[in-house]
Structure 1
C-alpha cells in the first residue's frame, strides 16, 4: 500500500477493507506456527515489572517486556479496524500476564488504513513510549464514539478537512472526531496534541511503515500477528493467539 494513497483525501465512509476477519490473517509470507520446548521465566529487575518496561523499536513500534524475551510477538493493527478493537479488548490483560513472565515481549506497530487512522495514531503516540499502551487501548475503546462523531459531520466536512495544508488536516480531523478532547482528558495538553497532529513527517513515517510490513510479512489485513518473525495464520483472536504462544513454549 503506497504512502501517497494513505495521505490522499478519502470519503467519510470508513471502508472495512484491510480489517481482517476473525481467525484469519491471510496473505503471503512465512505462516508456520513457532513451536518448541517450554521457555523459562525471567524475573524483571527489582521494583519493576516487564509489562511496564516499554521501549521504542527501530521499526517505529513500541515494545512491552523483556528485551531479551525468547518469544517476540508483533502485532500490526489499525485504530479504525473493529476486529483490532475486539482483539485489544480481549487480549490486553491476559497478554500482559504472559509479558510479565519475561518469556514474551509484545510490540505494537500501527498499520494505518486511512487518514482518520493516522490521526488516532498521532494522538496515541503523542505522549511517547511510557503511556503508549494504556492510551492505545483507550483509543480502541473510543472507536465507536470516534466513528459516530466523524460520520456526523458528513462527507463535506471530512473532505474540507482533507483539503487543508498537510500540517493542519490531521488537527482538523481530530477536532471533528473528538480526539482533541479525548487527549486532554487523558493528560495530553491541547497544545501538545496539536503539535503532534501537525507533525506531517510522522504521518508519512506511519504510512511508510505499512509498505515495510507488506514487503517483509505480506500483510493484507489487521490485526496481523508475528511470532519470532513468523506470521501466524488463524491466530488473531485471543484464544487462538494463546494457543500459539503455548505451543511455542510460553
Structure 2
C-alpha cells in the first residue's frame, strides 16, 4: 500500500464514516473487458458543441462526459490523494478527452473512490459547483497534490486530530482551511460560503463513503486507479498507456 508522502499513520486514520483505505496503484486481477474489437465509428457532436463539454451526474455518484450513446464506456475509480491517479490525470486524461471522448466513440466517467479524510475534503469541493466544473476542478486538485501533502504534514498531528474529531459538519471545513483548499477553490470560482456549505454536507459525504463500500463489493477494488470498460474491470491497468491499449483493442 502506498502511503501519502510524508504523512504519519494518523493522517490516514479512518473517520466515523467508515472509509476504506485501499492501495494506490495496486494491480487488480479480474476478467478483461468484453468487446468484439470491431472498429468503432466516430459520431459528431451536436453543432457548436464538443462531446467533452457534455457532462452530467450519474446515478452511481460519478460524473460522466461524452456521447451518452458511446459504444465504449470507461469508468475510473480514483482517489484525489493517490499519486498514480494524479499521474493519469496529468498524462492520460487530456489525451482520452481530446482523442477519444471528442470522437463520440468513448464516454468517460470519474467516480470518487475516497480513501482518507483529505481525499473526502477534496472530493466534496470538486463536486461543489456541480457537473460543469467537476472535471476541471478535479484535474486541478490532482495537480495541487504535492502542496496538499506539504500543508497536511505541516498541520501536525494535534491539529489534524482536532479537525477529524470535530462535529461532522465541521471536520472537513477545518481540514480544508488547514491545507489551503478553500482558498484554492475560491480562486477557481467557488465562493467561500459555497465551499463551506459543501464541506459541511454530511449527506454527500455519507453517500461517497457508501459508494466506496458498494464499489469495493461489486468490483473487488483493491487499488486506485481502477478502470472499467463497458462495466467490466480490466486486468492490471493503472496507467494511460495500458488503458489506451485496451481502447485500441476494443476498436476505438
TM-score by length of 2: 0.90
Q: Where does 1:8-157 land on structure 2 (aligned, <5 Å)?
A: 11-12=10-11, 17-21=22-26, 24=27, 26-27=28-29, 29-32=30-33, 34-97=35-98, 98-157=100-159
Q: Which moved more, 1:30-39 or 1:67-76?
A: 30-39
Q: Give the counterpart of 1:171 among 138, 151, 173.
A: 173
Q: Give ranges in structure 1 of 5+ residues lacking alignment.
A: 1-9
Q: Using the alignment, how far apart are the partners of 1:96 and 1:14 within structure 2?
A: 35
Tell me the equivalent position of 1:7.
none
Q: Using the alignment, how far apart are the partners of 2:125 and 2:222 within structure 1?
A: 24
TM-aligned CA deviation for residue 48 of structure 1: 0.5
C-alpha contact 1:11 1:155 (8 A) present in aligned 2: yes
Tell me the equivalent position of 2:232.
230
Q: Using the alignment, how far apart are the partners of 1:187 and 1:14 within structure 2?
A: 31
TM-aligned CA deviation for residue 35 of structure 1: 4.1
Helix, strand or coil at the partner of 2:109: strand
Q: Using the alignment, how far apart are the partners of 2:163 and 2:137 within structure 1?
A: 25
TM-aligned CA deviation for residue 211 of structure 1: 1.1
TM-aligned CA deviation for residue 32 of structure 1: 4.1
Tell me the equivalent position of 1:195.
197
Q: Using the alignment, how far apart are the partners of 2:227 and 2:52 within structure 1?
A: 18
Q: Give ranges in structure 2 of 5+ residues lacking alignment.
A: 1-8, 15-20
TM-aligned CA deviation for residue 215 of structure 1: 1.6
TM-score by length of 1: 0.91
TM-aligned CA deviation for residue 31 of structure 1: 3.4
Structure showing greater relative contact order (alpha-carbon pairs closer than 8 Å, 6 or more residues apart): 1
Q: Using the alignment, how far apart are the partners of 1:161 and 1:63 within structure 2?
A: 32
TM-aligned CA deviation for residue 172 of structure 1: 0.2
Q: Using the alignment, how far apart are the partners of 1:86 and 1:17 within structure 2?
A: 17
C-alpha contact 1:123 1:183 (8 A) present in aligned 2: yes
CA deviations 1:162-213 (Å, max 9, x no partner) are 1110000000000111101101111100000000000011101001111111
May I ask how many residue pairs the two structures share in their alignment? 237
